[in-house]
Amino acid sequence: MSDLKERSCEACSPNAPKATEEEKQRLQKDVPDWEIMDIDGEEQLHKVFKLKNFVKALEFTNKIGDLAEAEDHHPVIVLEYGKVTVSWWSHEIGGLHKNDFILAARTDAAFKDMQ
């Protein structure tokens, strides 16, 4: 399995290409726990993370915030007691770009670092 989280993100501009069906199938193999959901006609990568308590969930949320800011690519993060729900997609193109799979892989790595 390739190490998706090590690959660099491309800037997501309105002209950036959406991931093709073939690309999505291939990239999702590296982030198999992420579900592709259609929200109002736009595909998003979606995953729920369970943590020990609110403080741990907040710590994880901040780690995701740091990696989002570093890439200028931002997810929706829902923080609850012991639970963080993350959705990655590319607003500019209204769907999934390769970046979103890369950021999903980095989110998984940040979670693993906390275990």
The correct pick among 1, 72, 112, 113 for binding ligand H2B (CB under 6 A) is 72
| CB closer to ligand H2B, 56 vs 92 | 92
Query: How near is the Cβ of 84 to ligand H2B at its closest, in Å?
Result: 17
- 107 counts as binding ligand H2B under rule CB under 6 A: no
- 66 counts as binding ligand H2B under rule CB under 6 A: no
Contact, 7 vs 102, CB < 8 A?
yes
- 42 counts as binding ligand H2B under rule CB under 6 A: no
- 12 counts as binding ligand H2B under rule CB under 6 A: yes
DSSP code at position 1 = -
| Region from 36-44, 54-62, 89-97, 105-113 binding ligand H2B, contact rule CB under 6 A | 89-97
Give me the DSSP letters along 12-50: --TTSPPPPHHHHHHHHTTSTTPEEEEETTEEEEEEEEE
DSSP code at position 83 = E
In degrees, rounded to 5, the angle at the alpha carbon of residue 69 between the alpha carbons of residues 96 and 97 is: 10
